[in-house]
Amino acid sequence: MLGQLHDVDLQLLRLFVGVVECNGFSAAQGELGLSQSSISQQMAKLETRLGYRVCNRGKAGFSLTPKGERLLAATRALFQSIEAFRHESNGVAGRLIGEVRLGLSEAVDHSVLQRVADAIRRFRARDEAVRIELISAMPGEMERLLLQQRLDLAIGYFSQVQTAFDYRELFHETQHLYCAPGHPLFTDDAPDDAALQACDRVDHPYRFLRSDEPFQGQVCSARSEQVEGTLAFILSGRHVGYLPSHYARQWVDRGLLRPVREGGLSFEVAFHLARHRAQVPGDAQKAFEEDLLAAFA
């Protein structure tokens, strides 16, 4: 049984919550940045410290024991209390202090950057002494950092399947299907379905639900999550792929890209402001979130 709580106990409890939110050891590897064997060892260490088993793992899958369920509820309450205490004790004389960590998706439109800058301008006009950190990352990385509570807020296109997150829609981005000189469709103003299906498309492993993309080509020998990687494949003249219209505009103006069936194969991607609902925001984080929402209103 636990007597006094030490830092190592808090680390083990954080790992326990992370495993539960990922629904198992295997799924937690990428989120926690640890091997499955290391996670197993740490969980065994926690159970030894507690004196009872907190979860079942094996061929039947991962599940919490009744005691594990009670431990999970108690642990979440503990972390909320710790976070509330930290922010409360830091809130000296009403001044905003501490740190705000914001994740921002790559290759966003200039207007989005201007709105983020406006939010920073609003925030800096407050009585504050806050360090703001901006981190540019891919959606999967931002979700991992949010799960680990290493980000306070994140702006991006998310899967929206993480039950641990709260999402607020901010804006939409238009995506077009593009090709480049050398590709058969570059000189075809109205390609038929057969010509489209013969195209080798660039696959986005994370960014979009496949059902959202109007073009559902079956030929796919290219894969990239990053916008720059997708652009490189398209510029080769051997692939078609989706790009944000604002990002592709300069290449279209130079005659190096062309939208396929302009307007007919486009779709909208929703960008959200996400945060971990179990992470109790301090005054600085709440104020910055207010300023972000006002800037995007």
Choose the final residue of a domain: 89, 121, 140. 89
Choose the final residue of a domain: 62, 89, 116. 89
The pLDDT assigned to 283 comes to 92
The pLDDT assigned to 83 comes to 83
Q: Is the same domain home to 186 and 40?
A: no
The pLDDT assigned to 132 comes to 97
Q: Is the same domain home to 148 and 230?
A: no
Q: Is the same domain home to 158 and 248?
A: no
Q: What is the CATH number of the domain that holds 156?
A: 3.40.190.10
Q: Is the same domain home to 266 and 180?
A: yes
Q: Is the same domain home to 187 and 265?
A: yes
Q: Is the same domain home to 55 and 181?
A: no
- Structural domain including 63 reads 7-89
What tokens does 213 get?
């993309």
The pLDDT assigned to 211 comes to 57
Contacts of 222 (CB under 8 A, 6+ apart): 200, 201, 202, 203, 233, 239, 241
The pLDDT assigned to 264 comes to 87
What tokens does 116 get?
């983020």
Q: What is the CATH number of the domain that holds 15?
A: 1.10.10.10
Total domain count, the chain: 3
At 48-80, the pLDDT tens digits run: 989 999 998 877 788 999 999 999 999 999 999
Q: What is the mean pLDDT of each run of 10 residues along the chain (297 residues)?
A: 79 92 87 88 91 86 91 92 79 80 93 97 95 91 90 89 88 94 93 92 70 80 91 97 94 97 88 92 94 95
Q: Is the same domain home to 200 and 287?
A: no
pTM of the model: 0.67
Mean of the per-residue pLDDT values for the chain?
A: 89
The pLDDT assigned to 1 comes to 61
Q: Is the same domain home to 134 and 276?
A: yes
Q: Is the same domain home to 181 and 261?
A: yes
The pLDDT assigned to 212 comes to 67
At 166-221, the pLDDT tens digits run: 999 999 999 999 999 999 999 988 899 899 999 999 987 765 555 567 888 889 99
The pLDDT assigned to 275 comes to 93
